[in-house]
Structure 1
Amino acid sequence: MYIATENDPNRLRDRIGRARVVLWDFDGPICRLFAGHSAERVAGDLVSWLEGRGLHGLLTETERESLDPHVVLRAVDRRHPGSDLVAELEERLTQEELRAATSAMPTPYADPLVRTWTAVGSRLAITTNNSPRVVRTYLEGRGLADCFAPHVYGRTQELHHLKPDPHCLNRALRAMGAAPGEALMIGDTPSDHEAAGRARVPFLGYARNERKAKILRDAGAEAVLVSLEPLLNLLRA
């Protein structure tokens, strides 16, 4: 079911009312990390870096053309898990994400929503495939770090734990002493939805346009918002 927020506030109110803990994906619900620093170019640079070391054959044609840096990173890790090559590639991606954080675009209504949710007594965490260093850099720049600290759970050297694996969600739940049913995850991709399902955490989708909303609905998400404003209004009420 697609929740048009203005038309079904009771359903949305019920969903957020049970949430003692809110787990946020980062790139999407909090900000557009690559708004001014193309993720496609970053993926291309990682591919070029591998090819410059004679490692062209590590990637399939589909992986090389994916334009998604995480696809490139996962592909190399599958073939050389835990290697120095993977560690260096992950660090290169982290440095690109740190550069992107300086021009990231805040998601509309996300900043006041985070502050309001904190003010009404819910505890917040970040559960993301991005580097936790990048998340902290962005949150500090927006004055939001205290709303989440110390609960930022991001990419580690164990790349098989990236979402849709629920590892980062389970880490957050354990650290915050919360049962899955007491939590809510806000995410913007099918992998977020799958990770929430595997962790048994209720899911609320965010999509900045109808195309992305359809992708989430097609993946099985029952609740999808195309704006965070109605959520903010409900909390303020």
Structure 2
Amino acid sequence: MTSDTAQTEQVATEQVAAETENLRKVIERARFVLFDFDGPICRLFAGHSAEDVAKDLVEWLGRQGLRGLLTEEERVHPDPMAVLYAVNRRHPHSDLVTELEERLTQQELKAVPSAWPTAYADPLIRTWSAVGARLAIATNNSAGTAARYLATRGLTDCFAPNIYGRTQELEHLKPHPHCLNRALNALGAAPSTALMIGDAPSDLAAARRAGVPFLGYARNADKEKWLRDAGAEDVVGSLEPVLRVLRGQA
């Protein structure tokens, strides 16, 4: 082994040790943990394409003679939430938005059986709950969708009744801190004693506005760059190191 190689390995080892120590501090401060749902807990549309759901919403608008409400870019957007946002901007608090949101909720519920659990999420949730932390979900998905998924994984008792999801007041979706504040109030938690785990800049923005520390989860390099560019300081590519720290194994 050359001296350069040894030095490189030493630097890498020291970096891992520093990241682990920083992660330990983040975890030890958290008495209350707020999870985003789609991402840190599961990939909701892993087997039920989000793009197909977005197309379904656009086609439904077309059948109502309302396709013209959307721009060409919005009609082909792969995120169903983008379609919902677009209609809400033009017809806020309307029956149309209520119907469209309900249609999205039904599509989310249909996606639950084919959702993919995020690696290490189930044991992490159970362990965190077992050591005394109080958990909540703060998501832009419907609360019913999150609740149904948790039931399929036997995780309901770790969260219930603290599941806070999309309301018909769409302006209250993240990056607005509304669902985080609802969770904090229900838990009786000071923001500084909580931790938000999310995978999107909107999660980070909501956490900042609520005064809650943030831990980013990025399942790939693009997601990590997205979070880092938004200003996230603490980001993990897997929940395994979080679980290891929590179990005292790191």
Q: Same fold (TM over 0.5)?
A: yes
Distance 1:231 1:76, change over 3 A: same
**1:98-130 C-alpha deviation (Å, 9 max, x unpaired):** 010011000000000000000110000000000
In structure 2, what is the equivalent of residue 192 of structure 1?
203
Relative contact order (C-alpha < 8 Å, sep 6+): which is higher? 1
The alignment partner of 1:126 has SS state of strand
Contact 1:6 1:230 in 2 (8 A): no
Deviation at 1:31, TM superposition (A): 0.2
Identity over the aligned pairs, expressed in percent?
A: 69
Of 118, 121, 124 in structure 1, the residue corresponding to residue 129 of structure 2 is 118
The amino acid of 1:136's aligned partner reads A
Does 2:188 align with 1:163? no
User: How much has 1:164 moved relative to structure 2?
Assistant: 0.6
Give the number of the structure whose alpha-carbon radius of gyration is greater. 2
Tell me how far apart the structure 1 counterparts of residues 29 and 234 of structure 2 sit (CA, whole Å): 15
The CA deviation at 1:63 is 1.8
Distance 1:187 1:205 in 2: 5
Deviation at 1:65, TM superposition (A): 2.2
Q: Deviations over 1:111-165 (max 9, x none)?
A: 0000000011000000000000101100001000000010000001111111111
**For 2:234 and 2:81, how far apart are their aligned partners in 1?**
26
Distance 1:179 1:41, change over 3 A: same
1:30 aligns with 2:41: yes
Shift of residue 64 of structure 1? 1.7
Q: Alignment partner for residue 175 of structure 1, among 175, 183, 186?
A: 186
Determine the C-alpha separation between the residues in 2 that align with 1:88 and 1:211: 34
Please report the RMSD computed on the Cα atoms of aligned residues, expressed in angstroms. 1.1
Number of residue-to-residue matches in the alignment? 234
What is the SS of the residue equivalent to 1:102? helix
- Once the two structures are TM-superposed, the CA of residue 54 in structure 1 deviates from its matched residue by 1.3
Separation in structure 2 between the aligned mates of residue 63 and residue 181 of structure 1, nearest angstrom: 38
Is the contact between residue 5 and residue 12 of structure 1 (CA under 8 Å) also seen in structure 2?
no
Deviation at 1:62, TM superposition (A): 2.3
Shift of 1:61: 2.1
Q: For the residues of structure 2 that align with 1:54 and 1:5, how far apart are their CA atoms?
A: 56
Name which of 108, 131, 139 aligns with 1:128.
139
Runs (4 or more) in structure 1 with deviation over 3 Å come to 4-7
State yes or no: 1:202 paired with 2:213.
Answer: yes
Structure 1 position 51, deviation (Å): 1.5
Question: Is 1:109 paired with 2:120?
Answer: yes
TM-score (norm 1): 0.96
Q: 1:93 to 1:178 in 2, by over 3 A?
A: same
1:67 aligned residue (69, 72, 78): 78
Partner of 1:138: 149
Following superposition, the deviation at residue 194 of structure 1 comes to 0.6
C-alpha change, 1:227 and 1:85, in structure 2 (3 Å) is: same
Contact persistence 1:24–1:127 (CA under 8 A): yes
5+ residue gaps in structure 1? none
Gap runs ≥5 in structure 2: 1-14
Give the 3 Å change call, closer, same or farther, for CA 5–213 of structure 1 in structure 2.
farther
Out of 223, 245, 248, the residue aligned to residue 234 of structure 1 is 245
Return the alpha-carbon distance in structure 1 between the equivalents of residues 104 and 80 of structure 2. 7
| TM-score, normalised with respect to structure 2 | 0.91
More helix by share: 2
1:198 offset after TM fit, Å? 0.8
Q: In structure 1, what is the equivalent of residue 29 of structure 2?
A: 18
